[in-house]
Amino acid sequence: MNELIDKTKRNKKWIIVLISIILITVLIIFWQNKSIREDEKGIAELKENIKELTLQFKTIKRKKHEVEVNRDSLQQNLDYLWQYKSLVQSTKFRDQIGLNFDFKPGDRVRLKSDSSIVVLTDLLVGGNKYNYFIKFIVKNNKGAVVEVSPLEIEKVN
């Protein structure tokens, strides 16, 4: 009978060890399953983010294409007008210089050299990057056109 009790004690120990191993295995499987579900949620969120980024990319790509088309059509207009760039810059430079004087084309001015009254017809600006000149074109009472320096004329009251 003693042997039977020893066997049952040994069997109980093995059963407890076996149940413990099974319980630990079930807990590990449950924990891994939970971890896998969390990972699947994260993967689903990443897939959703990828879809959103794909849509944003398509929108940006479409807008870029629209800008390129608009730029190309504007470039055609610009190519046509590009030949007038230096003319526009020169005119703008001339007009900026003209703002610094008290008189403008169409005004009557007096020549300091002989005190005759003349009509200012135009402003002439020339030169290059490092040196330029300013002259006024005036018309006297005889109809002659003369180029004069800004220092040679004064405004008539």
pLDDT class of 74 with cuts at 50, 70, 90: confident
Every domain of the chain and the residues it spans: 1-100, 101-155
* DSSP reduced 3-state for 119: strand
Question: Amino acid letter at 8?
Answer: T
The whole-angstrom separation of Cα 48 and Cα 40 is 12
With beta carbons less than 8 A apart as the criterion, state whether 141 and 112 touch.
Answer: no
SS3 at position 131: coil
The closest alpha carbon to 112, from 152, 157, 151, belongs to: 152
Domain 101-155 fold is: Thrombin, subunit H (2.40.10)
pLDDT (average), residues 44-60:
94
pTM: 0.48
pLDDT at residue 79 in the model: 83
Mean pLDDT for all residues in the chain: 87
pLDDT tops 80 at residue 46: yes
